[in-house]
Amino acid sequence: MNKVIKSLNILAIIFIAFMMIYGAYNHVANPDFYNGFIPDFFPKLIVNYFSAVVELIIGFLIIFPKWRKMGSLSFIGLMIAFFPIHIWDLLKEVPAIGSKDAAIIRLVVQFIFIGIAYFVFKKSDLTKDESCMGESR
């Protein structure tokens, strides 16, 4: 893998891992922030804690080369699972994200996140003795 691709892969791994681990922390530390995104028929605190666990697991899976493919696919699955919630939010009179424009941007950003995770997924096919994070498999 050339140096630019390897560097981009490392940045993508760090980005996804940080985003997931920080998101997990934030679901516990600031659950009210997410309540507007959670439909009223779901128990908000349980959904927040469940989301925190899922995001924490994905964040750690992405870090370790042995589990990176699973982490990348899990992240992609999570982003796809969020589409109905974000579309529902977009269709509300006043989206929880703040504005219709922000809700549209968030949907576009989700596609970018999926692309980044797919890139990490594809680059996790390193040879057995090579790793992006300096760990051997």
Residue 134 maps to a domain: no
Give the pLDDT of residue 1. 63
Domain count, the chain: 1
- pTM, 2 dp: 0.84
Which residue type sits at 14? I
**CA triplet 24, 28, 34: central angle to 5 degrees?**
85
Show the domain range for 70.
3-123
3-state SS string over 28-59? HHCCHHHHCCCCCCCCHHHHHHHHHHHHHHHH
Instruction: For residue 106, give Cα distances in angstroms to 32, 76, 79, 86, 121.
Output: 19, 15, 11, 8, 22
Tens-level pLDDT at each residue, the chain (137 residues) = 689 999 999 999 999 999 999 999 999 999 999 998 888 899 999 999 999 999 999 999 999 999 999 999 999 999 999 999 899 989 989 898 889 999 999 999 999 999 999 999 999 875 443 444 444 44
Instruction: For residue 128, give Cα distances in angstroms to 66, 82, 102, 118.
Output: 10, 34, 42, 20
Residue 130 maps to a domain: no
Residue 108 maps to a domain: yes
Residue 131 maps to a domain: no
CA dihedral 122, 84, 21, 31 (to 10 degrees): 180
